[in-house]
Structure 1
Amino acid sequence: MPVNPHALGNRDPRFADQRWLLDLAIEQFGPEWDQDRLHYLSAPVSADHKGAILGLGRSIRKLDDFTREMVNLARHFELRGAGQRRAGHTASASDDHFAAAVLYGGAQWPIFANTELNVVLEQKKTDCYTAYAAGADHLVEPVEVPYEGRTLAGWFHLPPGHEEATGPLPCVVLLSGMDGFKEMNVFASADRHLRRGMAVLTLDGPGQGTSLVREIWYDPDRYGQVGTAAYEAVAARPEVDPERVMLCGVSQGSFWVTQMAAAEPRYAACATLFTCFDPGNAVMFGSASPTFRQRFMYMTGTSGVEELEAKVGTMTVAGLSKQIHMPYLAVMGEDDPLCDPADTYRHLNDVPGPKELLFYVGEHHAPVTRTAGRLGPAVFVAVADWLAERAAGEPLTSRHTTVDARGRSHTEPWGGERHYTYGAPLDPRTLLGDGPGTGLS
């Protein structure tokens, strides 16, 4: 079942040339050949739904299988949820509809145009999430954020028991990455940010999720305006403390929230996970899976390679770093195949405000699969705690924290400048003397 016209695949020569290799990789290694897709899609759903989503690894054997298999499971949960609601089982119905919404969103990922199917899937995702919100264990409201004469779709979440708060709450403006969408960013229940007493606005920025179907494309030169628009949308709410609105961005969202932080100084803090700070996304678009280039063509509304290269050529943190004076966190895995660690170090060296790098030795793009991530600070928990500390007014002193392969954290002051040593922990200096190696193993 092809989900894209053949000509759409051929607009990027690299994707066209490597499509057969892409399908071979999926056949051999499953749908998580380059990222933990099923794991991050299953993360926010209830425990009762995780097994079914992870089980899709057995039936997805090529790129075109993604949409069919995810839609089939989404439809199953959607219909089951409707039955649960008729039976008066509100909580069960809500969980089913949440899982269905996430799966409908996941089914959209391999579709690189606003086809009839993609538009229908967008509506199904929204309908199911709306049904989830009606029975959620906390308040969830749809939000439209004004942006350049249009609006960006979001969901605003308030923690359970927010009515008993003694004052307005801190709020996190949360963005996912290129492959993400707003409905997957907040857990169905027991969300990390909500449990810490923070409200959340999860947003589809230009080129993401609902914005794609609305043809609101990503433009690197104008994204900073999203920062002001999102800030003013939440700061105007009576439940939110305008002095404690913070940013959090995952993967490509790390670059987007950095653009927002540089453009809007009223944010109280900014956290970035799985950093994407290579100029022009050179590593991602040059040597990673060819799906990234196709996805980004769709996100930017471009139709050819030259137009794409012109867009990505302006994507750099070089002009942003020095504008960030708020507390700033970056989290990355050392062996990230999508970002050169040296670019993250260069960026942080130029950030004048208090900053921290949480650096996981030997970890992938999402540092959750090797021993540093499994035994060390749980990434998303560490970030939620960091944001909660900033919301509580705890000061941040610039520092560098390395999580070694045994999960031990080594924290040092940032100092003047820091640089990544390629080949670490095999420091060449330790190989020339008589002493043992000193790597973080």
Structure 2
Amino acid sequence: MDAMRKGQRWVLDAFLAVGGLDVLHPDAGAIFEQIGYDSTDLKRVFGPVKAGSMLPSAWSGAAKEIEHRAQHWEERGFTRTARRLYERATLLYARTHYSILGDDPRRGRYLEKVIESFKKVIAFSDHPIERVVLPFEGHHLHGILETPPNAKKLPCVIMLPGMDMFKEDWHKLMEQRILPRGWAAFALDGPGQGESLTKGLKMSLDNYDRAITAVIDWLSAHPAIDPERIVIMGSSMGSWWATRAAAVEPRIRAIAANMSNLGDKFVLLNQAQPSFMANLMYMTGITDTEEIQALSKAMTLDDIAPKVSIPYLIITGENDELTTLDSSIGVYGKLRGPKELWIYQYEFHPIGPQSDEWLTASLDWLEHALEDCFAPKHELRTFITKQGEYLEGSGEPPWWHP
């Protein structure tokens, strides 16, 4: 990372000491809780943190305590209590693992703790969960498939995490909001993400496209999955990867782009926290700052979006700090299939306060897409105010038009 971006870290550290998690992303705690993090764990981690360098220790300290509690209840035979605690420990160990950038042996050690904890979740689960390892271009893709009991030929949602997420982040959402629909769900650590990255699979401009094809190949042969009803929920940078894949993979039926990051990556690398540039450099294996900037300039959807003709939903915050609203609207305008745009007033990247709403609503939207509820030219833009008004029309913030 260049000297200027490294030099900005003291600013982030100073604000972390005062503002905690909200400094990284305003109102992020709300969506963390929706996807399974315990609020007391988050408070314990961020309460004493005075600098970003303290985060791995804070995450790991909380993880060890929760794992110890899980082991106690497991020994007593209280498997449901143990399962919930192992779920918490998995997420906390995974955050520790994520927080250690680079080919560091400590990162590998914490990955083993993630795997160990999640295997306990699988052992005590009431439904089938598979840890999936797929050969891919000399390395491996790592994923999690969750299905209802006795599943056969069900619709499947592929969950694509963002740059600072991982497949285990989606377990509770899959268990609580997807499986009850009678659907299956697959969460992926693609190139440059999570377990796949730690085990050597770097991200390039286009290898994530091929990774999704490899996943769909595998899912299509699985007896629990209907290969004609595969959709994608791509969150944050996952929305960008999903869009690229949809332009070349005809088996994707629909996409929900949540907390979307569809525009160019200038804001992400040059105006957001310096950790994003460091993260992208590790994800790609690029060590030269000019080369990473050149890659970011190629990471546009201007020529990709017009090739996407399947139903497509964009959900974004008006004040997303990692992209611009203009760029999201620009990509939306280039899509060629049925499409909708939901803009949440005053919300930042996590769209945290309304995350309970949009997480479920985006799944409902995908269900409508699978049921062919949208006409070929369907197009709807909705601006959603803080007071719960749903203003249909241009989708633009009212203040744009005095």
- Which TM-score band applies after superposition, normalised by the shorter structure? over 0.9
Aligned-pair CA distance for 1:368 = 2.6
More helix as a share of residues: 2
Pick one of 34, 43, 51 that aligns with 1:43: 34
Q: Distance in 1 between matches of 2:197 and 2:380?
A: 38
2:246 matched residue in structure 1: 261
1:205 is aligned to 2:190: yes
Secondary structure (helix, strand or coil) at the match of 1:257 reads helix
**What amino acid sits opposite 1:406 in the alignment?**
Q
Deviation track 1:193-241 (CA, whole Å, cap 9, x = no partner) reads 1222210000001000011211211101332112211111111111111
Q: Distance in 1 between matches of 2:122 and 2:142?
A: 15
Pick one of 251, 263, 266 that aligns with 1:282: 266
1:357 matched residue in structure 2: 341
In structure 1, list runs of 5 or more residues that go unmatched: 1-10, 413-417, 431-441
Aligned-pair CA distance for 1:188 = 7.2
Q: Distance in 1 between matches of 2:64 and 2:400?
A: 53
Deviation track 1:62-118 (CA, whole Å, cap 9, x = no partner) reads 101111111011111112212221211111111111111100111133322121111
Please give the root-mean-square deviation of Cα atoms over the aligned residues, in Å: 2.0
1:227–1:261 CA contact under 8 A, matched in 2 = no
**Range moving further from structure 2, 217-226 or 238-247:** 217-226
Pick one of 298, 304, 307 that aligns with 2:288: 304
Pick one of 106, 112, 115 that aligns with 2:95: 106
User: What is the identity percentage for the equivalent residue pairs of Structure 1 and Structure 2?
Assistant: 29
1:15–1:294 CA contact under 8 A, matched in 2 = no
2:46 matched residue in structure 1: 57
Q: Distance in 1 between matches of 2:111 and 2:251?
A: 33
Query: Taking structure 2 as the reference length, what is the TM-score of the superposition?
Result: 0.94
2:260–2:315 CA contact under 8 A, matched in 1 = yes
**What amino acid sits opposite 1:249 in the alignment?**
G
In structure 2, list runs of 5 or more residues that go unmatched: none
1:247–1:261 CA contact under 8 A, matched in 2 = no
Q: Distance in 2 between matches of 1:254 and 1:197?
A: 24
1:129 is aligned to 2:118: yes
Secondary structure (helix, strand or coil) at the match of 1:268 reads strand
1:324 is aligned to 2:314: no
Aligned-pair CA distance for 1:355 = 0.7
Secondary structure (helix, strand or coil) at the match of 2:12 reads helix
Q: Which has the higher contact order (CA 8 A, sep 6+)?
A: 2
1:238 matched residue in structure 2: 223
Deviation track 1:149-196 (CA, whole Å, cap 9, x = no partner) reads 32200000013xx42x6x511000101111100001120785211222
Query: Taking structure 1 as the reference length, what is the TM-score of the superposition?
Result: 0.86
**What amino acid sits opposite 2:35 in the alignment?**
P
Pick one of 64, 69, 78 that aligns with 2:58: 69
Aligned-pair CA distance for 1:251 = 0.6
Aligned-pair CA distance for 1:322 = 1.4
Cα 1:40/1:120, change in 2 over 3 Å: farther
Equivalent positions of 1:29-428 (< 5 A) are 29-35=19-25, 36-45=27-36, 49-159=38-148, 162-163=149-150, 168-187=153-172, 190-279=175-264, 281-369=265-353, 373=354, 378-396=357-375, 397-412=378-393, 424-428=397-401
**What amino acid sits opposite 1:354 in the alignment?**
P
Aligned-pair CA distance for 1:133 = 1.0
Aligned length: 399
1:81–1:92 CA contact under 8 A, matched in 2 = yes
